[in-house]
Amino acid sequence: GAVVSQHPSRVICKSGTSVKIECRSLDFQATTMFWYRQFPKQSLMLMATSNEGSKATYEQGVEKDKFLINHASLTLSTLTVTSAHPEDSSFYICSARGLGYQETQYFGPGTRLLVL
């Protein structure tokens, strides 16, 4: 299957700081990337969908000014958690989909964020 990388895999930061997470599709062009959040023992929660070159579409209840998404190229999307707070501590996972709408989403390995 296709390969999606995510960096960093783990980050600890102080409350009030910003954290940037990168998601890259390594062997295919990802026209669409998805950002998910997963709290312990809970389901995946879609935060936003981003298409290359356009603004991200955020799910209801997700603050677009707090979770900044940039999808600058067909292989890179970034999620910036601004002014992070302890309640933002979670497992953030990106996934990428190729050119076809029905193509499979492949997931990155995830980023574990801990805000102190």
Partner 1 sequence: GQNIDQPTEMTATEGAIVQINCTYQTSGFNGLFWYQQHAGEAPTFLSYNVLDGLEEKGRFSSFLSRSKGYSYLLLKELQMKDSASYLCAVMDSNYQLIWGAGTKLIIKP
Terminal CA-CA length for the chain? 36
Strand partners for 91: 38, 112
Query: What CA–CA distance (Å, rounded) separates 22 from 11?
Result: 12
Nearest-approach distance from CB 82 to partner 1, in angstroms: 23
Measured from the Cβ of residue 34, the count of other Cβ atoms closer than 10 Å reads: 21
When asked if residue 29 is in the footprint of partner 1 (CB under 8 A), the reply is no
When asked if residue 5 is in the footprint of partner 1 (CB under 8 A), the reply is no
Pairing of the two strands 90-97 and 67-73: unpaired
When asked if residue 109 is in the footprint of partner 1 (CB under 8 A), the reply is yes
Candidates 14, 43, 54, 65: give the one binding partner 1 (CB under 8 A): 43
Residue span 64-103 as binding mask against partner 1, x where in contact by CB under 8 A, dash where not: ---------------------------x-x-------xx-
Token code pair at residue 94? 């990106």
Strand partners for 25: 4
Total chain residues near partner 1 (CB under 8 A): 17
Contact residues: partner 1, CB under 8 A: 1, 34, 43-44, 46, 49, 91, 93, 101-102, 104-110
